[in-house]
Amino acid sequence: MHDPSSSLSLAAALDHGPADRRIAILRQIGAGGSISEAARSVGVSYKAAWQALDTLTNLAGVPLVERVVGGAGGGGAELTAAGRALLDAAAAMDAARADVLARLSGQAPVAARLALRTSMRNQWPCVVEALQAQGPLVRVQLRGADAAALQLVARITRESAELLGLAPGLPVLALAKATAVQVQPMTGAPATAHENWWPARVTRVARGDGGDEVAAQLDAGVHMVGFAQAASGLRARTRVLLRVPASALALAVVS
């Protein structure tokens, strides 16, 4: 019989670090044989627990949990061989990570941010200021950790907020693809009343048929890369406005 752990992608499943609660949910399922009990133990909703399992399964490439039918409790769930292998790997990585962070001491937060591999060029260390439930979504208000003047707003699902353990004061990394950052010439006074609108000054322009790639320094002191319409006419030192839709911001917990 084929062992599902033989094709388990440990690197993909564990590449996002131990900061969210997905591995904890998997561990509790292994201990108690129940997804609902695992959700209660970790402190997330049943729906969030299933989202965690779906994400881990997609990353791992093989089933990590299987349903058990019957029994005194009417059935439950148990880990597959791949699920147990993933937990063993996670424990080993946690131990190694703790050793590295202990040796790095004050450099640990920077090292953790550098270890995050992503195609998103816009990355900003932030701190969660406030959370506001909006139906199935959560509005996350952020302020820059390294540049206190930067203010951002992200909108993510309730389940994602639960799995990340978001709370005021939590350090996070906000990320956005360059293609999600909209750049336009500044006309008149800079907009201040809208979410994720920032005045900036262009530092570099790479022109292209599909749009002009623009690098700019925000008045808040951080750098950002985005796109303006093709043949925008923007040049270095031009004043511009940059905008990122709140739904286009991704959040990562790296500490």
For the chain, give every residue range classified as CATH 2.40.50.100. Answer: 118-173
Its sign, for the CA torsion 49, 53, 56, 59, is negative
CATH fold of 4-109, please? Arc Repressor Mutant, subunit A (1.10.10)
- Listed in sequence order, the residues at least 6 apart from 162 whose beta carbon sits closer than 8 Å to its beta carbon are 21, 43, 44, 45, 48
pLDDT classification of 136: cutoffs 50, 70, 90: very high
CATH fold of 118-173, please? OB fold (Dihydrolipoamide Acetyltransferase, E2P) (2.40.50)
Say if residues 154 and 251 touch (Cβ distance below 8 Å): yes
- Give the whole-angstrom CA distance, residue 240 versus residue 187: 8
Core vs surface per residue 145-173: b (16+ CB within 10 A) or e: beeeebebbbbbebbbbbbbebeeebbbb
Query: For 150-184, how does the pLDDT look when each residue is reduced to its tens digit (9 = 90+)?
Result: 899 999 999 999 999 999 999 988 999 999 999 99
Q: Would the pTM of this model clear 0.75, i.e. be above it?
A: no
Task: Name which of 39-53, 120-134, 145-159, 240-254 the model is least confident about.
Answer: 145-159
For the chain, give every residue range classified as CATH 1.10.10.10. Answer: 4-109
> Any long-range contacts for 24-32 (C-beta under 8 Å, 24+ apart)?
25/49, 25/52, 25/53, 26/52, 26/53, 26/56, 26/64, 26/65, 26/79, 26/83, 26/86, 26/87, 27/87, 27/90, 29/65, 29/77, 29/78, 29/79, 29/83, 30/78, 30/79, 30/83, 30/84, 30/87
Beta strand 76-79 pairing with 151-157? unpaired
- Give the whole-angstrom CA distance, residue 74 versus residue 76: 7
Q: How many CB atoms lie within 10 A of CB 62?
A: 20
Which of 3.40.50.300, 2.40.50.140, 3.90.730.10, 3.20.20.70 would CATH assign to domain 178-244?
Answer: 2.40.50.140
Residue 242 has pLDDT above 60, yes or no: yes
- Give the whole-angstrom CA distance, residue 176 versus residue 198: 14
Residue 3 has pLDDT above 70, yes or no: no
Q: What pLDDT is stored for residue 29 in this prediction? A: 93
Average pLDDT rounded to a whole number, residues 54-81:
78
- Give the whole-angstrom CA distance, residue 153 versus residue 170: 15
- Apex 30 CA angle, 24 and 31, nearest 5: 90
Query: For 111-131, how does the pLDDT look when each residue is reduced to its tens digit (9 = 90+)?
Result: 455 455 556 788 888 999 999
Its sign, for the CA torsion 155, 158, 163, 165, is positive
74 burial type by CB count under 10 A (0-12 exposed, 13-18 middle, 19+ buried): exposed
Which pair of structure tokens corresponds to residue 235?
A: 């040049």
Which pair of structure tokens corresponds to residue 121?
A: 């060029």
Helix (H, G, I), strand (E, B) or coil at 51: helix
